[in-house]
Amino acid sequence: MPASSEEFARVAPEVCAMIQAWIAHGEDATTPAIPESTPQALRKRIDAAWPMQGMDDAALLGTMQLLLENSINPWTERFMAKLYSAPSIASVCGEMLLAAMNASVHVYSASPALSTVEDACAAQLAALFDFAENADGITMPGGAASNTLAVQTALCAAFDGTYRRDGVYGLVEYLHRNGRQGRGARPALLTSAASHFSLDRAALAAGLGMDAVVHVPVDAHDRMRVDALAAILDAMTRDPSHPNGAPFFVNATSGTTVLGAFDDIEAIAHVCAKYHCWLHVDASWGGAAVFSPAQRSALLRGSGMADSITINPHKLLCVTHQCSFLLVRDARVLREHAIHAGYLFHERGPVVDHAMKTLGCGRRGEALKLYLTWCRHGTAGLAAHIDAGLAVARHVLAQIQACPLLELGPLAEPLFLQICFRPVQYGSATGSAATHKLHAALQAERQFAVDFAPTAQGDFMRLVVHPRTPQHIFSALLERILALLRSDM
């Protein structure tokens, strides 16, 4: 093999130039957001050319170009289907650095700088959420992974440590010894009916089973009804053989997937304290509101009372995929995950190897990308980013309200960054059918990607007003939608 520095010097600038051209292409107003995607054709082409022998630079670069051309171009800003955006350039550079370092952040000795950056970022985030000095946090590969680790951590922390050694089998025995009976001796997790499906999956993954999840009703704005939560917890606690089981964990959502609703953390925290439940806050999407002092007190009041919090900087903060943190109020709960592995963990003293604090082993240094994004924009810049996004969302809402051809769906109260709407009529279609017709028409044009979602009032287009996306993009989208509707009147 030639020296890597030579190969890098030869190839990396070409890749840089290719990416730069792709970004610039995306910034052109006529570039489709969605590629002319034919999965079967691309798969055939890849399979047919499977490399038995290696490729030279030109062939390798050609392959990269082919893949770019068949990918969503986030730089158009017109891919608005998901809760993320084009990434910050600082975090793109962070990925380049991570690749060159190629370190696993599982033990400190393999990744001194990256371990340190992770601890520093976790501490800064924890402070924003009003956690005190003895908090801790780690990155996980995605919000679902963070939520799942929160459930597993709560299980380990509760029930006198039974879960770690004896699993759910031990918990059921423990609950029997404590007076619970039959199905009432099953540990149960409560979360709102509007929360993310990763909570259901966390229950499955942790061995509780999906029936261990109790879905608490929501109000018309998809906020958990705290009165209902209290009533359910009271009934489950009073009846030792309650069919819903024994409550130990409540999830509050800060920024639901469809409406962007924020549960009332403070009120829920008081209920959790009364019924001795772990309070987790899934702030995967809305947690970044913590950067804005105004939004923090409006949307996240009481976050310091939570036992654990998930936040995904790869969503609102334009950090590249993935970057999710699980924060805990009490550092000791993560250290319960430590396990003896004589071939791996050798640290003594103040440093704690990060793989001691998870249920995994090797880890990417995902915190670096948040750190560099934070460095680039500053706490002040990220606060302004959030505030500006909310201002745009209010403006887009006003635009839609002013348009008689469109009807609004349910909205978060106060409004966050999602707006559900649909055509009052599209050709002969109305209601959910009008939504699906509009979704299909936009997909076919490939200029805008907007997802649809079910709500209590039927299916609506769910527009994500990501703070990264400029106002004029939303205006262009609405113009295009109105043109489509008018052409089919």
Q: Tell me the closest approach of the beta carbon of residue 253 to its own copies, in angstroms.
A: 13
Residue 144 within binding range of its own copies, rule CB under 8 A = yes
**How big is the site for its own copies, counted in residues (CB under 8 A)?**
153
Paired sense of beta strands 308-311 and 278-283, if any: parallel
Residue 386 token pair: 């959030």
Residue 20 within binding range of its own copies, rule CB under 8 A = yes
Residue 53 within binding range of its own copies, rule CB under 8 A = yes
Residue 391 within binding range of its own copies, rule CB under 8 A = no
> What one-character DSSP code corresponds to residue 468?
T
Residue 150 contacts residue 308 (beta carbons within 8 Å): yes
Q: Which stretch binds its own copies (CB under 8 A): 92-100, 287-295, 298-306, 421-429?
A: 92-100
Residue 39 within binding range of its own copies, rule CB under 8 A = yes
Residue 133 token pair: 């000095």
Footprint of its own copies on residues 349-378 (CB under 8 A)? Answer: 350-351, 359-364, 368, 372, 374-378
Among 33, 87, 367, 484, binds its own copies (CB under 8 A): 87
Footprint of its own copies on residues 111-130 (CB under 8 A)? Answer: 111-117, 119-120, 123-124
Residue 169 within binding range of its own copies, rule CB under 8 A = yes
Q: Tell me the closest approach of the beta carbon of residue 264 to its own copies, in angstroms.
A: 22
Residue 178 within binding range of its own copies, rule CB under 8 A = no
Q: Which stretch binds its own copies (CB under 8 A): 54-62, 247-255, 389-397, 477-485?
A: 54-62
Footprint of its own copies on residues 315-344 (CB under 8 A)? Answer: 320-322, 337, 339-344
Q: Where are the alpha helices (DSSP H) in 132-264?
A: 143-157, 162-177, 198-205, 226-238
Residue 452 contacts residue 439 (beta carbons within 8 Å): yes
* 310 vs 280: CA distance, rounded Å: 8
Question: Exposed e or buried b for every residue in 76-102, given b needs 16+ CB within 10 A?
Answer: bbbbbbebbbbbbebbbbbbeebeeee
Q: Tell me the closest approach of the beta carbon of residue 224 to its own copies, in angstroms.
A: 17
Crossing angle between the packed helical segments 367-401 and 471-486, to the nearest 10 degrees? 40
Q: Tell me the closest approach of the beta carbon of residue 117 to its own copies, in angstroms.
A: 7
- The residue (of 76 and 303) whose beta carbon lies closer to its own copies is 76
Task: Give 248-269 as a DSSP string.
Answer: EEEEEEBS-SSS--B--HHHHH
Footprint of its own copies on residues 427-466 (CB under 8 A)? Answer: 449, 451-454, 462
Four-point Cα dihedral 15, 17, 19, 24, nearest 10: -170
